[in-house]
Structure 1
Amino acid sequence: MEECRVLSIQSHVVRGYVGNKSATFPLQVLGFEVDSINSVQFSNHTGYAHWKGQVLTAEELNVLYEGIKLNNVNHYDYVLTGYSRDVSFLEKVVDIVQELKKANPSLVYVCDPVMGDHGAMYVPEDLLPVYRDKVVPTADILTPNQFEAELLTGRKISTEKDAIEVMDLLHAMGPETVVLTSTDLPSKSGDQFLVALGSQRIVRADGTNGRQRIRMEMPKVDAVFVGTGDLFAALLLAWTHHHPNDLKAACEKTLSAMHHVIKRTMTYAHEMAGPTKRPSPAQLELRMVQSKADIENPTVVLEATVL
């Protein structure tokens, strides 16, 4: 594959896997050059009892970007962004993406619009209009969870039909590809499964526009993982690159690789914690390096249904 370069603007932790630490290794293993801007530098993720560190300001982000630009090495094939909790920082990200798209009109912007989950926002509420009015229209691939998709469209999702309508509303806002990474929709396989849905705008052989829509079911895991959303967005970037017009194949490889990583992490965490104790945040850090082979060439264990 010809050299493909990703600018990833996400958080960084010294210990563990979240943000850029979750995204960079898998992308490199899959053959991408990754340039990282660390939106925060923390000792570890905030699920631990203690954490320390620094937050990058919008101005500091701009300084780093200016340095890249002055050397004329600001040519990117992809931009990847995740968690942000500052309005001016997020607006600066949009400015940078728009400028990079002018330089390379075929650039693909993959955005995980991280705002909250299960009905609660964990970023300031003034980020919502920025995501809705500026970020989403600039994005090409969007990976919200159900709650984030509902926030962005102002529509509730209670049925699969609702979910499809919400994905269509998101397409209308800009993105070619939308994946609802997790929903509360009932699984056909029983309570132990989570449902994800995806939709991709396609041009049919006869030149008309259509959609490829898929549904996937993933086994639920009784543990709190951090960094899985960041891993998902990075893997989806990679596999949509390898399967540009086949959302089914891209999602099957993405979710199967994640399944392997999570399974290995769970096994390790329970071994470390012992049979009677719940694993600690440190024991539940993703087993990323140990999963290199699964990331590189995932055995497809989760199949998608075309809707």
Structure 2
Amino acid sequence: MSDGEPPVPDTRVLAVASHVSFSYVGNKIAVFSMQSLGCDVAALNTVQFSNHTGYRQFTGTRVSAAEITDLYRGLKQSYLDDFDMMLSGYVPGAPALEAVGEIAKELKEKAQSRNKPGSFFWVLDPVMGDNGSLYVAQDVVPVYKGLMKYADLILPNQFEAELLSEVKIVDMPSLTRAISVLHERYAIPHIIITSVSLPDSNTPSSTAPNSVPGSSAPTPPQLPQEEEENQGQSQPPRTKTLSVVGSTMTSTRQPRAFQISFPAIDCYFSGTGDMFSALMLVRMREAVYNTEGGLTERESWLSEDGVDALDLPLAKAAEKVLASMHEVLTKTAEGMKGRVERAKGFVEEQLQRERAQTNGYTNGNGTQDGEVQHVDKKPKLESEQTNGNGVLSTETEKTEKTEEEMIKEKEEQEAEARKKLHLMKSKAAELRLVRHLDSLRHPKVEFRARRIECS
């Protein structure tokens, strides 16, 4: 295939995830990524927000289960449901998730009725939480468990893998045990666990591929308070690498596991999980179509048992996806520090002007800017200051600000400045994807998979 051709054959994708007017998270980044690699994508949006929730303020609405069902029914009525693949991300609530599951099951049943194994493939990102905390309702978890057996590839982070497998992941043996349980219990053909954090592997959960969804939210989690002030700045590295761990099961549901490690980038990003999911969908299809032996016609694109973990299409796809991710994040981070510094300068300059105006309210009597003087709290009539004929004026009284009022006003100004700085930092951290399309299409693969032995 030449450089000018898409990496995949004609591919029709149904993408079900959140949508924002501004920034690159959810379907906003997923659809763009897949279209940039040659896929024809129909977007079914589960929320409509102004921006992602990491900004800590947004407007918009969540889509109900009935609306999701109705939108898909509209596609069917017009014969627009001939999808080859489906990608599902953040879904707001158990009823809506059940509606999405019904869509996926219907598409799989339609493919099976045509007696064409491998003609439909569902990539499921089970967005539930991260770092030990749920950011969806508790009743969402059993719904995801009920849908696992219909998915072809799942992309949980470490915490979500624990929820689904009911195995606490504390080291590599427990991680491989969780993968084995997912294969055995749900017959999931392909698994990639992102944001792996193991004490003995030096691979923390952080900002790399899976931040999703973050969000009570349809998008990546809110920026932690303790990290906010250092966003976009050089920080002492907590660790040196991050990892993803993947596996394709055998015909007897045994794992064939691999791990890919890559350098950490000490910045906070939004939308990385959604980008990872979208790229995995495309690169998995590419790897399968580049594999000889009729793999495209096998159910769930499941490789023969004799195929080694390192030769799996899943491993080859993950290598290429992580290469693209690392390039885009590195290029985004290179410009982020300057954007953050400019934001700080702008906010500080504005705050200084506001402080000067506050201080200047009582100045003019010899005090200097920034100096709080003792103020007589007794109101003075304007006539006492301006009327020279001894006649009291009935005009409005002028009251100077008290020290307490000035302190309160300054606190409000500083709070507003912190809010504004957070918003500007959040904008500075947006992925610079549209400027780096070559990293999506032609990444340089540097990080290779290594085999993991499963007990």
| Structure-1-length-normalised TM-score | 0.93
Q: What pairs up with 1:62-73 in 2 under 5 angstroms?
A: 62-73=69-80
The secondary structure found in structure 2 opposite 1:175 is: coil
> Residue 209 of structure 2 corresponds to which residue in structure 1?
none
Match of 1:194 among 235, 242, 261: 242
Offset from partner CA, 1:22-67 (integer Å, 9 cap, x none): 1111111111111001111111000113200121111111111111
Alpha-carbon separation, structure 1, partners of 2:313 and 2:326? 20
Alpha-carbon separation, structure 2, partners of 1:297 and 1:71? 36
Alpha-carbon separation, structure 2, partners of 1:103 and 1:58? 22
Q: What pairs up with 1:25-40 in 2 under 5 angstroms?
A: 25-40=32-47
Alpha-carbon separation, structure 1, partners of 2:27 and 2:331? 21
Match of 1:284 among 383, 405, 429: 429
Match of 1:162 among 163, 170, 174: 174
Q: Contact 1:146–1:183 at 8 Å: present in 2 too?
A: yes
Cα distance, 1:222 vs structure 2: 2.4
Gaps of 5+ in 2: 1-7, 113-118, 204-237, 289-311, 345-421
Letter in 2 for 1:64: L
> Residue 121 of structure 1 corresponds to which residue in structure 2?
134
Gaps of 5+ in 1: none
Cα distance, 1:187 vs structure 2: 2.9
Match of 1:248 among 315, 325, 348: 315
Cα distance, 1:293 vs structure 2: 0.4
Letter in 2 for 1:264: K
Alpha-carbon separation, structure 1, partners of 2:24 and 2:10? 25
The secondary structure found in structure 1 opposite 2:256 is: strand
Q: Contact 2:248–2:257 at 8 Å: present in 1 too?
A: yes
Q: Contact 2:183–2:253 at 8 Å: present in 1 too?
A: no
Alpha-carbon separation, structure 2, partners of 1:174 and 1:63? 30
Q: How many residues in Structure 1 have an aligned counterpart in Structure 2?
A: 302
Higher deviation after alignment, 272-281 or 11-20: 272-281
Is the alpha carbon distance of 1:209 and 1:42 closer, same or farther for their aligned partners in structure 2, counting shifts above 3 Å?
Answer: closer
Match of 2:332 among 265, 289, 300: 265
The secondary structure found in structure 1 opposite 2:425 is: coil
Cα distance, 1:211 vs structure 2: 4.1
Cα distance, 1:90 vs structure 2: 0.2
Letter in 2 for 1:85: P
Answer 1 or 2: which has greater strand percent.
1
Is 1:42 aligned with 2:90? no
Aligned-residue RMSD, C-alpha: 1.9
Alpha-carbon separation, structure 2, partners of 1:268 and 1:85? 34
Percent of aligned positions that are identical: 37
Structure label with greater radius of gyration: 2
Alpha-carbon separation, structure 1, partners of 2:56 and 2:130? 21
Cα distance, 1:265 vs structure 2: 1.3
Cα distance, 1:188 vs structure 2: 6.0
Cα distance, 1:132 vs structure 2: 1.0
Higher deviation after alignment, 57-66 or 237-246: 237-246
The secondary structure found in structure 2 opposite 1:157 is: coil
